[in-house]
Amino acid sequence: MPNNNVAVNSAPAAEKIKKPNFFTKRRDYSIWGLIALLLGSVVMLFPFVYAFSASLVSNGLSVYSMKWFAEWEWGNYARVFKEMDFLRYTGNTLLIAALDIIGSILSNTFVGFGFARYDFKGSQTLFFGALCTMFLPGTVMTVPMFLIWSSLGLTDTYVPLVIGCFFGQAMNIFLMRQCFKGLPAGLYEAALIDGAHPLYIYARIYMPLARPMIATLALRAFTGAWNNLFGPLIYITSLNKRTISLALANYNSKYETSGDTQLLMAAAVIAMLPTTVVYAFTQKQFVAGMASAAIKG
Amino acid sequence: MTRKHMRWGWLFVSPYIISLLCFTLVPLIISIYYSFTTYDMMRPARWIGLRNYIGTVTKPETWIAFRNVWVYALMLESLQISLACVLAVLLNQKVKGLSVFRVIYYIPGLTPTTATALVWARMYNPRGGVLNTILGFIGLGPFAFTYSGNWVEVIVGIVLMTLWKGVGGATIYLIAGLQAISTDVIEAADIDGASAVKKFFRITVPLLTPTIFFLMITGISGALQVFESFYMLTESTGADVYVVNSRIYSLMWGANPQVGQAAALGWVSFIFVALVTWLQKKYEKKWVHYDA
């Protein structure tokens, strides 16, 4: 949409037309808009730059009065991995993320395919029920889920954290359903006439075509697992099973009082890095997939 | 295809039926049951009728928690949606390289709340934190934000961080909404000589109302369930500002678990969320235009 922010009256009737300068020149975009975006992105990037700079100071107190990028103490990062045991926590979190990704892809494509391709009795009701569960507050569910898992003796394991991904989640099912519905239905009928089994049609014909949305699923599962605090906070009690987020929450004030605040900043940078990097490489399909599904409804 | 063939659908959706039973229906029943009992996870549960609910709604802490979460949700959503509308229009211009900005605005939303809260707490620190240095430089402040004893100031601090994280995501949806608007309308307004401000409020925003409605429904019900940012930003500063989920967390996972009260508060909270969603849906027709 061309946005002519600049009110230049081009009618020749005006007696004295000022020669348009850089700001008042007629464009099909708005220069003030671009300046606003630029300023805004400085605000958006500021906390990252601050955290990075503060993670490299040699004295924890100077995160408050630092000269930006005056010191480059890379040893802080080594200390985070060694003293704060972040190598282990990274490994733990990656393990959970990997299980979540596998489970999410298997279950949500499977269920989404069922809702997209089959018009069986009750499918509408079931799908509507799935959408309704999105509005159930998480805490209403976590209280009884915690009781169930602790009666099964499975707290302090990763089972409660990952199992949900293996049976489908409403939002992801919705995304996959939209995706499969967007693919030609004729493919299904043609393959069926050729004698293909429905499972074969799903795995070999529709799955490869849904690859962009599957990438979206994987990315959602990864960021979900990497960023989750509440789950690990209530289920994980052993120190060596902690995830990155849980470790950060536990270290929240400990390193502040010990005067090593710069280590907290380095840990935060490490925690922010993976999702940011993964997104930077996959952003186009990730965003496009999510938004198109939401708009099409 | 035959009706009989359609039964294959049951096979495909079966994992989700298991999930609905095991991870939704059974927990819901358990939760309802325990909300009528007193249970500390040691001694057996004892039926006490409605006493948990009466206790919940008569406790002042409950209403402080609800007040806090409502102030938070309304502040956050009104700022986020209005800012996202402006950003969406700006980011939707046809300029080469503008997608770099989309990435920049979206990225904070993907970072863990724990990590960003650690960083923002240091920026907010009234003794030498970088935000107060900047505010002091332009002659404002000092503001204590999450270090403040004033609950509104603490919530403002949490809202600002969440806004920074969330505005990009809301913008993405609005850009998709903008791209669905036919350019004819805008071009017609251009020919009529409408100003940019007028076009924004009279054309763009009304045509975006379906997307705005979607963002409001999901955003408010999400904001009412906030936990992690309050946990992180009040834990480190010792601020005594809590929301409904923080209450449930300390009731259930605190020093002496009170399962019944936690479950009851969860249900009271759910009733509010459901009521608000229903009210929004009811008044949808008054301001949302679907006929674009």
- Residues B131-181: tens digit of each pLDDT: 888 888 887 877 888 888 899 999 999 999 999 999 999 998 999 888 888
pLDDT tens-digit series, residues A73-127: 899 999 999 988 999 999 999 999 999 999 999 999 999 999 999 988 888 999 9
Asked whether the predicted pLDDT for residue B98 surpasses 80, the reply is yes
Same-domain status, A115 and A24: no
In this prediction, residue A282 carries a pLDDT of: 75
Nearest CB partner across the interface for B10, out of A51, A107, A120: A120
Contact B273 A137 (CB under 8 A): yes
Domains and their CATH numbers in chain B: 61-287 (1.10.3720.10)
In this prediction, residue A5 carries a pLDDT of: 46
Of A206-210, B136-140, B204-208, B261-265, the least confident = B136-140
Same-domain status, A35 and A83: no
Average pLDDT over residues B252-257: 91
- Residues 6 or more apart whose CB falls under 8 angstroms from that of A296 comprise A178
- Å between B165 CA and nearest CA of chain A: 9
User: Residues of A numbered 182-241 whose beta carbons fall under 8 angstroms of chain B's beta carbons: which are they?
Assistant: 189, 192, 198, 202, 223, 226-227, 229-230, 233-234
Average pLDDT over residues A240-255: 90
Query: B119-130: b or e for each residue (b if 16 or more CB lie within 10 Å)?
Result: bbbbbbbbeebb
Average pLDDT over residues B245-268: 93
Contact B16 A168 (CB under 8 A): yes
Q: Within a domain: residue A26?
A: yes
> Is-contact A275 B111, C-beta < 8 A?
yes
Please report residues of B whose CB lies closer than 8 A to that of A246.
114
- Compute the distance between CA of residue A42 and CA of residue B104 in angstroms, rounded to an integer: 9
> Is-contact B288 B213, C-beta < 8 A?
yes
Same-domain status, A14 and A97: no
Q: Which residue has the tokens 């904070």?
A: B108
pLDDT tens-digit series, residues A35-73: 999 999 999 999 999 999 999 998 877 788 778 888 888
Q: Which residue of B has its CA nearest to A113?
A: B12
Same-domain status, A192 and A273: yes
Q: Within a domain: residue A69?
A: no
Q: Within a domain: residue A175?
A: yes
Q: Which residue has the tokens 């009234």?
A: B126
Output the domain CATH number for residue A91.
Answer: 1.10.3720.10
Per the structure, the count of domains in chain A is: 2
Same-domain status, A88 and A224: yes
Contact B13 A65 (CB under 8 A): no
Same-domain status, A141 and A286: yes
- Compute the distance between CA of residue B280 and CA of residue A239 in angstroms, rounded to an integer: 44
Amino acid identity for residue A273 in this structure = L
> Is-contact B28 B20, C-beta < 8 A?
no
Work out the percent of chain B whose per-residue pLDDT is above 90: 59
Q: Within a domain: residue A61?
A: no
Give the model's confidence band at A253: pLDDT under 50 very low, under 70 low, under 90 confident, else very high: confident
Same-domain status, A159 and A21: no
HSE-CB of B168 using CA atoms within 13 angstroms: 24
Per the structure, the complete domain to which residue A157 belongs is given by 79-296
Q: Within a domain: residue A122?
A: yes
Same-domain status, A92 and A35: no
> Is-contact B258 B40, C-beta < 8 A?
yes
Average pLDDT, chain A: 86
Q: Within a domain: residue A172?
A: yes
Asked whether the predicted pLDDT for residue B193 surpasses 90, the reply is no
Asked whether the predicted pLDDT for residue B235 surpasses 90, the reply is no
- Number of neighbours of residue A61 by Cβ within 10 angstroms: 13
Q: Within a domain: residue A64?
A: no
In this prediction, residue A53 carries a pLDDT of: 94
B38: β partners: B46
- Residues 6 or more apart whose CB falls under 8 angstroms from that of A56 comprise A69, A71, A72, A73, A74, A76, A262, A266
- Å between B152 CA and nearest CA of chain A: 23
pTM here? Answer: 0.89
Same-domain status, A27 and A85: no
Q: Which two tokens stand for residue A148?
A: 């169930």
Please report residues of B whose CB lies closer than 8 A to that of A264.
118, 122
The three state secondary structure string of A111-162 is HHHHHHHCCCCCHHHHHHHHHHHCCCCHHHHHHHHHHHHHHCCCCCCCHHHH
- Compute the distance between CA of residue B28 and CA of residue B22 in angstroms, rounded to an integer: 10
> Is-contact B40 B256, C-beta < 8 A?
yes
Same-domain status, A120 and A237: yes
Q: Within a domain: residue A50?
A: no
Q: Which residue has the tokens 């601050």?
A: A50
- Compute the distance between CA of residue B28 and CA of residue A188 in angstroms, rounded to an integer: 38
CA proximity to B231, closest of B256, B248, B219: B248
Same-domain status, A174 and A278: yes
Same-domain status, A38 and A83: no
Element at B47 (helix H, strand E):
strand B46-47
In this prediction, residue A7 carries a pLDDT of: 45
- Residues 6 or more apart whose CB falls under 8 angstroms from that of A28 comprise A2, A3, A4, B93, B94
The interface pTM score, or ipTM, of the predicted complex is 0.91
